[in-house]
Structure 1
C-alpha cells in the first residue's frame, strides 16, 4: 500500500497565475447584466458611473488591506484564517459556514447557469425553456443540466492537480480580458455616437427612479437606499477578488505575490468595468440600457456594434468569461473547507490531499452542493440575501487588521496595509454605511442572509464547537516549492 500520499501543498502559482485567479474570479456575467438595474435605480449616466467607480475604489482599498493579512498568514483558507486569528474560531466558522452553504457554492451555481443561458444563444437546445424532466415538485431544464456538467467537469480537472487548473485559469482569463478590451474598443470605434453620449449625460448626476412610464423622485433618506441597492450589483460583480488568498499555501513568494496580485487583478477589472459602462453610454440611449431584454445590456450593446452577429459574439465571450470564472471559484473554494477540517471545524474526511496534492474530497463535496443549488433554482435569491453578509465579513476582516496590530504586534508583517489606518478605516466606514442603508431600505437583501449566518451558531456549538475546543491546536502544514 502506498505511503507517499502528499501531506502538504506545493507552491506552484507565480504572480501571473495569482493575478489571473483574482481577475478571472471577479469577471463573470455581472458586467453584462447589472447596469440595467442600476440605471433603473439611479436614472443618470453620472450616478451609473459613480456606483461603478465607488465599487472599484472599495474593492481596491480592501485588496490593499488584505495584503497585510495574506503576508502574515500565507496559509490555505485565506479570509477564514484571518477571521479566526483576529477574533475566534466561532467567527471563522460562521464565515466558512456561509461560504460553503451559499457564498461560494451559490456563486458557482449562478455562474454555471449563466454559462448555460448564454450558450443557448448558440445552441438553442440548452435553453432554460427546454424542460428535460418534470418531477412535480421541480423541473430539470437543459440549462440546469449543462451548468451541472460544467461544474463536474471543472471539479474533475482540478482534482488532477494544480497544473491543469492553473492552465485553464490563466488561458481563459487572459482571453476574456483581451476580448473585453476588444469589445470596448470596437464599441467606441464602430458604434459610439456623440448625440447618444450627449443625450445620456444631459441627466448629469440627477438621482431618480426610472420606470417605463417615466421618472419618480426619491424622498428623504430613500436616496441612500437607492444608492445602496445599486451598489449590490456592482459589488457582486466585483466580488470574489479575495479567492487568491484561499490558495496562499500554493503561491510562490506569498509575502510579495499575494498582495501584488490582489492589487493588479482588482485594478485591471476596475478599469474594464468602468470602461465597459462608458462604452454602453456611448452606444445606447440610457432608456435602452435600463430596459434591455432580460437585463442583458451586453447583448444589446454587441448588436449595436456588430449587427446581427453581435448576439453570438457576446454569447461566446460570456461563455469564455463564465467558464474561466467558475474554474477559479472551484479551484480556490475547496481550500477553505480543507483548512476548516484541519482545524476541527468541518467534516474531518476533507482534511486530506489526494496523490496530486489537492483537496479532492473537498472539491467533490463543493461540486455536489453547488449542483444541488443549480437544481433548486434558488441560488439567485440566496445570493441576493448574502451580499449584505459578504460585506459584513469584509468589514470584520479589515477590522481584524487593527485588532491584530494591537493583540499581536510581534507577528512578522513583510507587507503592511497601504494607507493604514486611513484607507482601511475608509473601507470600514463606507461599507458600514452601505450595510446600514441596505438594512433599512432593502430588507429583502439583509435579514434572510443574516438569519442564514446566525443559523451557523447552533450548528457550531451543536456539532463542531466542542470538537474544535477539545482538539489540539492545528499548526499550518509545511509547504514545498517547485523552485529550489
Structure 2
C-alpha cells in the first residue's frame, strides 16, 4: 500500500492545485472528483489483474497474456516511457522548489530563467538519480522500508497543511469569485485533468509492478491498490479545497489568472507565509524534497520491472532480464538511470512533461480493462482473489475513460506519443531480428490488429478536436465520437484475443520462469 501511496503523493500535491485552479477556477474540485472516479475504475481493473497474475512488471504482461507479443510490447513500451520519465520529473520538481528558497538561491543557482537545469542543478539532479539507483540495486526490502517512512511523512504534511490553512484562512466567497464557480465552463474542467489532476493521481499501479516480490500478492495487491487510491483521492480533494479557500479574495476580483503571484512555484508555502504560518512554509520546503524524491525512487523501481518484463518476453534485449544477487533487475535499473539522465536535457521544466506523461499513462491504463475483459473470456477457470464488480460493464467503461484522458491531454502530447510508439516498434523489430528464427515467439498479428487503428484513430480525433487541435469537431460531439470509437475498439479487441490454450501457455510459461522467489521462500 505504501509503494502505491508513495507513488501517488509526489510533486503533484505541491504543484497541482495552483495549475488546476488557474485553468478551471473553483470548478477544479469537479476535475478532481471526475478524475478520481475515472481512475478508480482503472485502479480496480488493475487490482483484479494484479491479484490474479502476481508477477513483476504486470502492466507490461497482462496484455501479453491476452493478445500476444505485439500488444504486450506496445503496452510495456508506453508503460516504460511514462515510468522512466517520472524520476527526472520529480527531481526537477525538487530542484525547482529548492531554487526558490532565498538562502539556497543566494549560494547556487539550480535553474535558468526558462526552467532548464544549470550545471549545478544537473550535478545535484544526477546525485538524486544515483541515490535512487543505489537504493533500488540493494534490494526491494530496503526500497520498501525507505518508501514506507517517506510515505508517512508525505501523507502527514499535506494533512497538516489542510488543517492549518482551513483553520487560519477560510474564505468561502472564493468559491464563487473571479467569474463564478466555473469561470471557464465544462471546457475548463476537462482541460484541468491533464494539466496536473490526473498526473497527481497516477501511481496506484506501482504495487502491481513489484507484485512478484510480495509475500502474499494474491491477498495483498488488490487491497494495496484500492486503499492507496482512496487515501490519495481524499487527500488531494481536501488540498484543493484548502488552497482555494486560503487565497486572498482581492487576488480573485477579476479572474483566476494569477491567484498567488506571477511565476510562483510554491503556492502552499506562499499562502502559509501570507497567513503568518512561516513555520509551515519551512516544513513545506523540506517536504518539497522528500515527496518528489520518494516518488522518483519508486518509479525508478517500476520502470526497471517493466523493462525486465519485456526482456523476459524477448521483445527487448534479453540482458534487461538479468537479476542481481538481491533478486533485483540490475541492468534494467541502470537503463532507467541512463534514460532519466538524458531526460534532463531536452525537457525544460516540470510543466513541460506533465501533459506527455499523462498521455502515456492514459494509453498504459487503457490496456488494463481491455486485457481484463479478454482474459475473463479466455481464461475462465483462473482463480481470481479479487473481482472487479460488474466487470463486463466496468471494463469497457474503463477503456473509454482512459481514451477520454488521452484526448484531453491535447494533440501536442498525443502526436509526440504516437511518434514514440513508432520508435518503440523500431526497437522491437531490431530486438526480434537478433533472436534466432527458431526461438522467436509467434507474433499473433491477428490479435494485435486493433492496436494501430486505435492509436491512429485517437491521434486523428485529437488533431480535429478542441484540445490543441483544429477544433473542427463541435463541442460535446467530440466526446461522443471518442466514446463510440473507444467502445468499438474495445469489443473488437476482446473478440480478437488469443484462444484459451494460447493464453494458458503464455501464463504458465511466465509463472514457471518467474525470477522472483515464491511466497514461502520470500517469507524466510
Superposition TM-score tier, normalisation by shorter sequence: 0.7 to 0.9
| Cα pair 1:140 1:375 within 8 Å, conserved | no
Seen in structure 2, the aligned counterparts of structure 1 residues 430 and 157 have a Cα distance that, compared at 3 Å, is closer
Are 1:231 and 2:200 an aligned pair? no
Corresponding residue for residue 72 of structure 1: 52
Q: 2:415 aligns with which of 447, 463, 476?
A: 447
Task: Give the structure 2 partner of residue 24 of structure 1.
Answer: 6
Whole-Å separation in 1 of the counterparts to 2:53 and 2:141: 24
The TM-score, its normalising length taken from structure 2, stands at 0.77
1:322 aligns with 2:362: no
1:430 aligns with 2:401: yes
- Number of residue pairs matched by the alignment: 438
Inter-partner Cα distance in structure 2 for 1:153 and 1:62: 32
Q: Which residue of 2 aligns with 1:199?
A: 174
Q: Which residue of 2 aligns with 1:10?
A: none
Deviation at 1:291, TM superposition (A): 5.1
Q: 1:437 to 1:104 in 2, by over 3 A?
A: closer
In the aligned structure 2, how far is the partner of 1:127 from the partner of 1:379? Answer: 15
The answer on whether the counterparts of 2:31 and 2:190 sit within 8 Å (CA) in structure 1 is no
* Counterparts of 2:117 and 2:18, CA distance in 1: 28
* Long gaps (5+) in structure 2: 442-505
In 1, are the aligned partners of 2:111 and 2:118 still within 8 Å (CA)?
no
1:75 aligned counterpart, secondary structure: coil
> 1:334-385 deviations in whole A, cap 9, x for unaligned?
1111121111122222222111111122111111110121233357545423
TM-score using structure 1 length: 0.83
* Counterpart residue number, 1:54: 34
Equivalent residues of 1:168, 1:327 under 8 A apart: no
Q: What are the residue-to-residue correspondences of 1:278-357 with 2, within 5 Å?
A: 278-284=241-247, 285=249, 286=252, 287=256, 289=259, 293-357=263-327
* Stretch moving more, 177-186 or 449-458: 449-458
Q: 1:127 to 1:305 in 2, by over 3 A?
A: farther
Are 1:151 and 2:99 an aligned pair? no
* Alpha carbons 1:108, 1:326 under 8 Å: kept: yes
> 104, 123, 126: which one pairs with 1:123?
104
- C-alpha displacement of 1:260: 0.3
1:109 aligns with 2:64: no
CA–CA distance in structure 2, aligned partners of residues 148 and 302 of structure 1: 31
Task: Answer yes or no: is 1:267 the counterpart of 2:248.
Answer: no
**How large is the Cα RMSD of the aligned pairs?**
2.6
Tell me how far apart the structure 1 counterparts of residues 276 and 157 of structure 2 sit (CA, whole Å): 14
Structure 1 gaps of 5+ residues are 1-18, 132-137, 210-217
Superposition deviation, residue 92 in structure 1: 1.8
Give the equivalent residue in structure 2 for 1:171. Answer: 149
- 1:243 alignment partner, one of 179, 195, 206: 206
Paired with 2:112 and 2:419, the residues of 1 have a C-alpha distance of 35
1:274–1:250 Cα change, 3 Å: same
Quote the offset at 1:290 in angstroms: 6.6
| Alignment correspondent of 2:510 | 475
Give the structure 2 partner of residue 254 of structure 1.
Answer: 217
| 1:99 CA drift (Å) | 3.5
CA distance in 2, matches of 1:446, 1:384: 9
Call closer, same or farther: CA 1:289–1:274 in 2, change over 3 Å: farther
Corresponding position: 1:420 with 2:391: yes
Give, in angstroms, the shift of residue 305 of structure 1.
4.4
* CA distance in structure 2 between the partners assigned to 1:39 and 1:165 by the alignment: 35
Distance 1:321 1:227 in 2: 26
Q: 2:478 maps to what in 1? A: none
Deviations 1:286-322 (A, max 9, x none): 5454755335322222223444445432211111111
CA pair 368-377 structure 1, distance change in 2 beyond 3 A: same
Q: Is the 8 A contact 2:136 2:301 kept in 1?
A: yes
State the 1:111 CA deviation: 0.3
Moved more, 166-175 or 283-292: 283-292
Shift of 1:202: 5.0
